[in-house]
Every structure is written in structure tokens, then in C-alpha cells.
Structure 1
């Protein structure tokens, strides 16, 4: 258990040198090697150094984990417990997440380059808060007795589905895992979770803490690995529901796997290309510019709902871009273990190389307004990129339409409200959108016309555990967070009793 919270860069580097790593899978309540003992090397993107060998599960390991999870569900060791008992376990898990805050934050920072301050202040508290919120929701659920004819009674109950497969990305390794694991467990299901191979350590540690909190063996299982694990889960006949966050291309494959196997239920949160629309009647342009920079460059733009497309009304374009470029300087990358760094490294050299290629393409075809550089933070890694702003791209340019998932913000100009809406909706995605205006009427009018699962007005990327998160169009379907997430992991059952 953590005894102290580091406050300096040197402290965190010392803690990193002392940190123990365990990359083995977690099934049936304990760590173990996968059947074929294959591994992947976990790399610290900020230094290029190897951290540990991570288990690379295969289909045979999926079969075992799913069988364990199914047995745990069928014997009702978890779902058969009272609501109060399940609530107590998840509350204890939330407490343990907070108690191990330093360790969990450090694991995420070392594996995917996230600034330690962000992991400490946002990701880990968000994880604990999610488990606590769904724990408190367990005993607040009520079944129904609808109206029926005299001489009969109908009971409508919400039932757990069985084995839940959860597949999560590397950009928020712990927090997005909690978005899926917490409501799935709250409903009484068993879970087999596949974290991203780039960042698996914190969720593997979470599974150990869950057992310490009192979760029965076999109810939560974690299998690291590559795409073969996701395909095996997608095709498995004993997986009852699969919840996914990741790319649209993979989401489409999961749709195929479901149809080719047992028609398992799916909740797919896929790609995004969020527009941030700034009207000339915005009350505070400086604040809007600061938030535009945050929306585009927080987590180095490695956010599915990142505000990566900026649409600015022509009359304020030059002024706003000046304010934006000034605000973007605050997101210059730094050592992830420096508490003063607001951004760190991209998740890998390979991903950074793809983003660099996109930046060079934008520089060649448009106008570089800010950034574009590749600083050397420690002299070894190539995973650090400056926040970059590019304008003057042709309307059909790939950078305006394809998800880049990095610190690249494109700028477009509009002359009317109708044109702004048309440009914002000119995408195959529909995850999120933002708009800035001082007009209440315009806020309502434009929000209604934007095709997005979340519309943020006079802010960016608004999100909370009480509100549903998910998309329209090729951003997928289903919702994380809020009470609506419980619908993903359950189904309604009618029991009709005839007594007259």
C-alpha cells in the first residue's frame, strides 16, 4: 500500500526504479502464465526502455478464462449475493484504488507516457469514483409491476447477462476499464477483460485489488494480448455481451464476429473527429481559446473525443488563432514524471511516427500556424511531439476527415451558422462536438442540429459519471457511464403469474 505521495521529479524517478512489475495474466483469482508462455515487451515510451514482459494470451487462454467466468456466474458466487454485499465489495475496491493511488498512477505513466500529475489527479480518482458510484447504484435499482388484467401479476426484473467481455484502449488504461468493469460487476455479471498490450499493468493490479476487496475468484479476469484475444472473445459462444472502446475499423470486425457466432450483445464506442465551433458572439475569446487548446492537446490529443477540428467564424479568425497559439504553448511536452508537465510522451515511437507523418502532410498541403516540432526530452525517445495547429487545408483533405489521435489541430473558417453546422457534421463520426456562443438561442439551435452523442456548450469534452457517453454514426452505439450503462450488461425479464 502507498505510504506517501511523491512531490518532485527525482522522487518519482526513484519510485519508478523501485517499482515491481508483474505482467502475467490474471484468471480465477490469481496470476499465472499463459498456456504457451508467449509475451510482449512493455516499453516506456518516454525513455524507450523495457519495463517488463507482458503475457500475450491466445485463443486457448480465452477459452479457459471464459470457462472460469461462466462457472463463476452459473454457481452464483457473485450474482447470488445480496445487493448490499455486492455494494460493499465495490466500495472496498474503490477505497483500495485510492489507497494505491501512487502505484496505479505510476504504472499508467510509465507504460503510456501520461503525465504523473494527470494520472494522480484525474485517472485514478476517476477510477475510484466510478466504482464507488456504481456500487451506490446497486441497491437503488427497482423492478417493476406493470398493470395487468385482474387475476394476474407481472414482474419485470433486470437480469445480468452472464459473461461480459470488455476490450479497452491504452489512452486511459485504468479509467476506461472501470467504465466497463464497474457497471458489469454492479449488475452481477462475470468479466473477462482485455486491456491494450501497450498499457496492461494497472488493470492487472486492479484485478488483484478486487480480490483483496472481497470479489470472488473467477468473477474478474484480465487477459493481456494482441488482436487475437479480441477476436477470440468476439467469436466465443459463451461470451454474452462485449463492450469495446477503440477504433471504428475494429468495431466493425466485432460486429462480424458477433453475427458469425452467438449474436452476443455489443456496446461499441469507436472513433471520433470532434468539431469545436467558435462563433463571433462568444463572450470570452481568450477563455474559449484556452479551452480549445485543452480540448485538442490534453493527453497529447490521444482522446477519442478530442476537439481536433476547430471551426472559427471568419470575423474573429485572426484574433482567435493568435490566442489559441499562445494557449497551446502550455501543452509543450515534458518528462511524464515531472509533476509540472502537462503533457508527456505519445504511447509509442511507432504511433508518434504516424502522427509526425500527418503533421508533415498538413505542413505541405496547408499552413503551419503553431508547433510541428519533435523535441528531445531525454535524448532517447522519439515519442515527444509539440502541439501543432494547421490551417488552409482543402475541404476534402484527409486530415480534416481521418482520426489522427495525436496533438494535431486543424482550423477551418465559416461565415454563417448554417455553414458551421454543415462543416461540423461533415464527418462519418458522431461522438462529440463543442460550440461557443453568447446567445442562448443559438446554443439550443446549433446543439439540436449537431449530430453527436455529447454536445458541449461553452466548454469542451464535457463528461461525468452521471451522464451517458457514446456516439452516433460510425462512432458506434451503446453508452458508457450513467445509469444507462447498466442496460448494456443486463436484460429485462417478464415473469407473468396467473392466479385468477
Structure 2
């Protein structure tokens, strides 16, 4: 248990984490001894098992995990339909009592969930613990919103004497919950909160190589005591996800992942007899702006932390920084000094900031992008492989490009940030907005007019100013609603904020004449 240890919130970079590191020195090897290498079974995953290796070291086997067959997916959806007949009618008190039990289970198993994320994804210790802490806080925040809004029931205007009208929100039925690899705990819990707390049953699919986290999360829900069939787990890759999202028994999909996959789900739903809700977060480019009026040391630290935390494998990671030409040299010098002190190594170590890239495909994309930058621009820092380490370990890269390119427009999902020298904030905003994504953006300036210009002109849903902890990263439940604009998301309402839960319900009005 870590209740008496420092909590990680992504933003509290000045905290004394020494006691937590002491605890993790014992917890990490204990988790490896107790949980890694097992052969797992699951009710709706009866296909052949597959060994999954950790990105930390290809020789480190996480376990053998079965895959769901098409029949398993259909059976899981049928189970959810049966569970929905009970849970769709649950009262606010029923769901709040469940939320309290689930929070207790998550808090009890917080270490296990964090360690699973560390080994499955290659997260640093603090990133992994922060993710688990975030998941627990979601079970404080979202139930509080449900309670404060009285289950989103509203009395309406009385139109004639003796008549009453009420607006209520009703669950859709069954949601498919499809999670990504990079935040296997927090993003899974967030989407599950949205569906379950509003009265929907779910079929949940974790990322294919994050089955361990998915199975451990399923255990917390078992402890929380949901009625039979309300939560159902399937395991596997793209084929399983497609079978789940396209099953006729699914009433809605909540998804976090690539733009390509998200849009494929939308196209499928558009071809059905009526549209089902699709709540999707689909990536980002996330520019930062450093003006001539910035605190350069703070800007360098914030951009580096945001670009290279979790190996740049965050949808909110900063991957392009627009720097006023007047302070370009100062920024580059400060960035190199700060980034040069970041430790890239096996994330089980307490001093490590950045672990391995998640996959061979990411490593190939990183090497190709570094080669392109060498050919078309300049590599200012890093970009090389650390050969002495097993796994895909690379020094993060800062490159400079003379003009817009695919490197400044496309989501890369790796520790690679492009510097673009610009003459003034207006030109920088124009280029930074000229992308398909609109998740987050950040600025460093001590000028009030520049800050106003940024807040009014940046085309993104999550804006930060002068943050040393992360230029474009660090959202937290109840602190920063995480809402994607443009190609990032379509609902117009983000997770971690007050308007997330109503997306999982549709409105119904009750107009009743007194008898």
C-alpha cells in the first residue's frame, strides 16, 4: 500500500519522491517475481495464447495471453446486453455506491497497476505511479460530478397548469471501450468511468500487448461487485477491435487511438440504420510557442519534459516548438543543457526519465525521421541509438527545419521535437494551427498581450502557459478538461472535465399531467 507515500500528479515536479522511490525499489522486483511470466486465461478469450515481451528487454516475458475469437466477441456482447437490462435501470445511489467500491479496489491495487504499466509500456517509475494515481482520482472526480449534477436530471418549464416536465439522461445500453497502449490504466479507467457510471454495460478491449493491465483492471471491477454481465473483457489486436466495434449489439463506442482507426469506426457507424455515438480521442501535434519575452530556462525545461516524457508517446506530447528568431540560440543552448541531463535507460531505475520506444515500428519511424531531418534540416540534439541497451533505446531528438513539412504536421508519437524559428507570434500561430489536429498547445511569454493572443488564437482544446512541468502535457481529473478539436476529437467535450459523462447518455423528456 502507498497511501502514506508521495502522490505523483505529473505537475508536482518539485516533490520529494525519495520515500516513494525507496518503496519502488522493493515493489518492482516483487511484482516481477509474483506476476510476470504467467499463463493467463479469460472467459471471453479462448483462442491460442501468445507470449508478450516487455519493451524494456526482449528477453523479459510478461506472460502468455490468449486472444478472443469472433465467437468470444459475440458472446461478450451478448453477456453485456444481458447485464445492460439490469444496469441500465440502476439508480444514482447504485452507481455511486459502485464507484466508491471501485475506487477502494483501485487504491488497494494501485501498485500492481502501476508496475504493470511500467513493464508493459516501458514507463518511468514516476510516469507509472502518476498514471495509477490519476485513475484513483477519476473515481473521486467523476462520481462527484454525477452527484453534483443530480444524475443530470433537470426540471423544465411548466407549460400548462397541472403539468410537469423533466429532462432526464438515459444510458444508451452497451458501450465498446477500446483502449490504447500508452496509458493502459488511466485511459482505460477514464473511458470505463464514462460508460459504467452513467448506467451502460461495457465490453472492454485493452491494447493487444497490454493484456496484463487489462486483466488486473478487470480484477478491480470484480472486487467492486458489478452485477453479472455489466463488465466484459475481450483480448486481442485489430481484428478483435474491429469485430467488437462493428457488432450489431454495440450501442456506442468510446475509443482512444489513431486518427485512421477512429475514422474507420465513424464510417462504419454511418453505414448502420441509425448513428450510434462514437466518443473518440485521436491524437495530436501539440505546438509550443516561445516568444522573445519568454523565460527561456523555463521554456526549455517545459518543452523537453513534454516532448520526451513517456518517450514522446503521448497524444499531448509537444512535437513542434516555434521559437522567436531573436531568442533561438538562447533556447537551443538551454534546451541542450536541460535535455542532456535526462537519463535514458531501463525504466526500473530510480533516476531514469525516459525508457525504450514501445515497438520496432516506432523505432523505424524514429530513425527515418532523424534521417529526413539530417537531409532536409539539422539535428541539433540526440537522435542516436543506445547500442549497449537491449530494446529500442534512443537518445531523444531536437531537430530544426527551415519550413513546414510532414515532420511539423504529422503525429509522430516518439521523442522527436521539431524547432521552427519564426518572426513573431502571429506567424507562429498561423503555422501551428495549420494542422489536422487540435489537442493541446502551450506558450512561454511574460507579455500579457501575447498571452491573450495565444489564448484567443490557438486552435486546440487544452491550453497551457508558462508551465515548467510540461509545455503541452499534464492534464488531471478536475483540473484540465482534455478536449480535442478538429481531427483529434468530434464530441466537443473532453475527458477529465464536467461535460464528459453526459456524452454516454441520451436525453429524454418526461411531461406528465397530474391525475
User: Same fold by TM-score, threshold 0.5 exceeded?
Assistant: yes
SS in 2 for 1:330: coil
Give the drift of 1:23: 6.6
Distance 2:312 2:331 in 1: 20
Which of residues 52, 60, 85 is equivalent to 1:42?
A: 52
1:456–1:462: 8 Å Cα contact kept in structure 2? no
1:129 equivalent in structure 2 = 137
SS in 2 for 1:66: helix
Which of residues 413, 427, 432 is equivalent to 1:405?
A: 413
| Structure 1: 4+ residue segments shifted above 4 A | 1-6, 8-11, 20-25
Distance 1:497 1:23 in 2: 57
SS in 2 for 1:476: coil
Distance 2:260 2:382 in 1: 30
SS in 2 for 1:331: coil
1:355–1:405: 8 Å Cα contact kept in structure 2? no
1:8–1:338: 8 Å Cα contact kept in structure 2? no
- Taking a change above 3 Å as real, the CA distance of residues 295 and 185 of structure 1, as seen in their structure-2 partners, is same
- Taking a change above 3 Å as real, the CA distance of residues 140 and 54 of structure 1, as seen in their structure-2 partners, is same
Deviates more, 1:459-468 or 1:97-106: 459-468
1:297–1:331: 8 Å Cα contact kept in structure 2? no
1:486 equivalent in structure 2 = 501
2:188 equivalent in structure 1 = 177
1:168–1:177: 8 Å Cα contact kept in structure 2? yes
Give the drift of 1:352: 1.8
2:40–2:66: 8 Å Cα contact kept in structure 1? yes
1:161–1:489: 8 Å Cα contact kept in structure 2? yes
1:12 equivalent in structure 2 = 28
Deviates more, 1:454-463 or 1:320-329: 454-463
Which of residues 79, 104, 119 is equivalent to 1:110?
A: 119
2:44–2:73: 8 Å Cα contact kept in structure 1? no
State yes or no: 1:439 paired with 2:451.
Answer: no
Distance 2:27 2:216 in 1: 22
1:258-313 alpha-carbon deviations (Å, 9 max, x no partner): 1123521111111211110011112x211111011011111110001111101000
2:97 equivalent in structure 1 = 88
Distance 1:483 1:88 in 2: 20
Q: TM-score, normalised by structure 1?
A: 0.92
Structure 1: stretches of 5+ with no match in the other structure: 26-30
Q: TM-score, normalised by structure 2?
A: 0.89
State yes or no: 1:269 paired with 2:281.
Answer: yes
Matches within 5 A, 1:44-443: 44-49=54-59, 50-74=61-85, 76=86, 78-120=87-129, 122-142=130-150, 143-151=153-161, 152-261=163-272, 262-282=274-294, 284-376=295-387, 378=389, 380-381=390-391, 383-391=392-400, 393-443=401-451
2:402–2:421: 8 Å Cα contact kept in structure 1? no
- Taking a change above 3 Å as real, the CA distance of residues 438 and 226 of structure 1, as seen in their structure-2 partners, is same
Distance 1:8 1:233 in 2: 37
- Taking a change above 3 Å as real, the CA distance of residues 216 and 24 of structure 1, as seen in their structure-2 partners, is farther
1:471 equivalent in structure 2 = 484
RMSD of the TM alignment (CA)? 2.2
1:301–1:408: 8 Å Cα contact kept in structure 2? yes
1:40-98 alpha-carbon deviations (Å, 9 max, x no partner): 33211111023212222233222111111111011x2x343432332222222222222
Distance 1:147 1:82 in 2: 24
Distance 2:33 2:314 in 1: 29
Distance 1:226 1:19 in 2: 22
SS in 1 for 2:243: helix
Matches within 5 A, 1:452-471: 452-459=460-467, 460=471, 461-466=473-478, 467-471=480-484
Distance 2:253 2:455 in 1: 31
Give the drift of 1:385: 1.1
Give the drift of 1:132: 2.4
Give the drift of 1:483: 2.2
Distance 1:210 1:8 in 2: 25
1:23–1:53: 8 Å Cα contact kept in structure 2? yes
